[in-house]
Amino acid sequence: MRVTEKKGIKVAAQNRKAFHDYFVEDRYESGIELFGTEVKSIRAGTLNLKDSYCIVKDGQLTLHGMHISPYEKGNIFNKDPVRPRRLLMHRREIRKLQALVQQEGYTLVPLSVYFKDARVKVEVGLCKGKKNYDKRDAAARRDAQREIDRTMKERNGWK
């Protein structure tokens, strides 16, 4: 089930570049440790996941490279916009992800940040990198599907 199909969910940001650069094998939901001004800034939609990634170190899952712009009314309570942030998952899930990343050449990439009721959640994808020819193939398939849809729309008399 996709993130947007569930009740009480408001997507704050998506990492579209991850779907271009990686094959997403599996998805996991995790909480994130934030400060109050960061949550307010996320509610305002001022975050960027473009070059972010996750690593497992000392049994903890950490998100690096996510930029949350400082809250304009936050003054001294604002934190560093690109500081590493701890992700909250069960210990057995973290161990499983760490084993996959170390042995099978996977990487952990945040796919989206969203509000589930009042809590901020991060969807983490277990991904494998795409080669350039995979990216070209995906783009060609997407263009062909777009052309088919356009032709079908014209034949059915829709404009």
CA dihedral 12, 97, 130, 23 (to 10 degrees): -60
Could you tell me whether strands 9-14 and 107-116 are parallel, antiparallel, or unpaired per DSSP bridges?
Answer: antiparallel
Q: Are 30 and 89 in contact (CB under 8 A)?
A: yes
**Burial category of 108 from C-beta neighbours within 10 Å (exposed 0-12, middle 13-18, buried 19 and up):** buried
What pLDDT sits at residue 3?
A: 54
pLDDT in tens, the chain (159 residues): 455 555 678 888 898 888 888 888 999 999 999 888 888 888 888 888 888 999 999 989 999 999 888 887 767 767 778 889 999 999 999 999 999 998 887 899 999 999 998 899 999 999 888 777 777 888 888 889 999 888 888 887 765
Q: Classify the C-alpha dihedral 32-37-38-40 as positive or negative.
A: positive
Residue 157 CA to its chain's centroid (Å): 38
Sign of CA dihedral 5, 63, 118, 75: negative
pLDDT at 159: 56
pLDDT at 30: 93
How far, in Å, CA of 19 to CA of 134, rounded? 12
> Residue 50: what pLDDT?
87
Q: What is the pLDDT of residue 87?
A: 93
**The predicted structure's pLDDT at residue 86:** 92
Which pLDDT score, from 0 to 100, does residue 91 have? 94
What are the structural domains of the chain? 3-130 (2.40.280.10)
> Which single residue is written with the structure tokens 């509610």?
43
If you compute the radius of gyration of the chain from its CA atoms, what whole number of angstroms results? 18
- Looking at residue 2, what is its pLDDT? 55
What's the predicted TM-score (pTM) here?
Answer: 0.75
| Range list of β-strands (E), 37-156 | 47-48, 53-57, 60-64, 67-68, 85-88, 107-116, 119-129
Nearest to 123 by CA among 8, 7, 18: 18
List 62's β-bridge partners, or say none: 55, 86
